[in-house]
Structure 1
């Protein structure tokens, strides 16, 4: 590969106003070596990040803003930035100061010298230095990378599948980027999973720094997304990611339903047939709230829409609720007096309907 004439750097942002000026200043010296394009992909930040980028772009050629309204998420921001970039080489990095701009040149050099399609900046390379992760975050990341390694047999030599820093050659990687599921969080993991070992990938060590300003975006939804991504890969991507998430939430509903049945039977003295309908409605309600927070978080209902969504969800679920009760009761009466098996039979009957109907009519997604 010849030295790139144009280098594109993709920086996903959400509420990073305090960081964009500093990181741009640190990246601008790269103009000495490349025709530089810096793309800030902003998810309509509430802190004025996009407005500041506009101001900075007035004085610097090659600085671009992609402001996304009505769509959000780290994976989709990275995907959109890569697809819109015009460089011969594209680098993706965080905007929070944890990735050193100095690593950009190292990544490009590694891409050129190794003949790789993709170069990953690794926090867990033997020569890396981690200054920006707590002991707990480091331990959790190590655990996640270990699981990821076994789900990606074509890339087991890598050390950091969750990195947010990587450089790529568009002509080799874009066909895979187009297929990345944007509902995920860890874009790199998704890209590696989709490519099924076909990319030539190498790593460079990162000096991972403490966040300069702003708040970390890590939350329960991101951890949940990672687990769903790994299961999606282990299931050979045969089942949609969202269906896997919906099913996992459904398993929590199974636990809720059975606990409520037991509580009503033991505490209130209700018979199984009396306790079951109440437990089914309680479980359906908790399923809605968890799915709203995790599975459909990018279409999350809030305020009065949350209550309306619950009513829609219960309405959509009303037919399978009846089926759940009917199948479970029939199983209990005719097949087995085992309440666990009876409830499980009813739950399995209604899963597909609940997923398809609620996706379309509650959260308005295909």
Structure 2
């Protein structure tokens, strides 16, 4: 018996910092543009040669680089996700999540001693809008949309759907990808006004102005529209004081035989297989947000009147497992 497990936890922060530094210095981009030894890369980026080698060797150990003779090369995963200005780039997602978790770590001691206090207000439309331009767009485009499309296109009701709502759409990319895949589907993308101003630009990029509109407001308090055959919502229920009220609003907004697809993290704090989920939501939980328990949403869906609820766990969403509920009116 020893405490190595807990001492080893200290090393995770160093690994995170190594990747963060590499992204900020655009190490991977430089290695993709031309062949580099540690010394030539240090000269190009004006870095300390010895510590450049230490950093590059650390990235090799993390399976982000490999060595070919004296040259350092990007691994396939690095090429796909961590080279800036490429289609699949998710470096900003990593840096944003890192910053968010670091902020939580700094606040942890205060939250334990004093509670959430002034932190209770979760409505930061301008921050959400800024994230929708970069971090959340990258995440939705490269990590979430594939899961969403796979989930939605398997529904037997999807081919006949005429109108969908992406509720709490953030960048709007998930809704846009779904609508793009269905040539006759009309769509509404809903979020705060500051966010939908960003989404309007994304709609133009997709060339879907004739089929997609935005609706702005506060989901808990404002109208979300009606006449939907499909509603997609992901990671929004944590922020509502009255989840049942919002779910009843969603139910009323759906047409008969309409389908709600809900994707959220549900945590059983007594189940050690939920370790990653528990610690990822630690800061949110300490702010007294509505971290979801297993069956919490499905029970409310049933109480609200949904006639059919199919639930399963997806391991394809970023960071943590998610529970997908497909509820039919």
Tell me if TM exceeds 0.5. no
Q: Which structure's CA Rg is the greater one?
A: 1
> Which structure is higher in strand share?
2
When the two structures are superposed, what TM-score results if normalisation uses the length of structure 1?
Answer: 0.27
> Which structure is higher in helix share?
1
When the two structures are superposed, what TM-score results if normalisation uses the length of structure 2?
Answer: 0.30
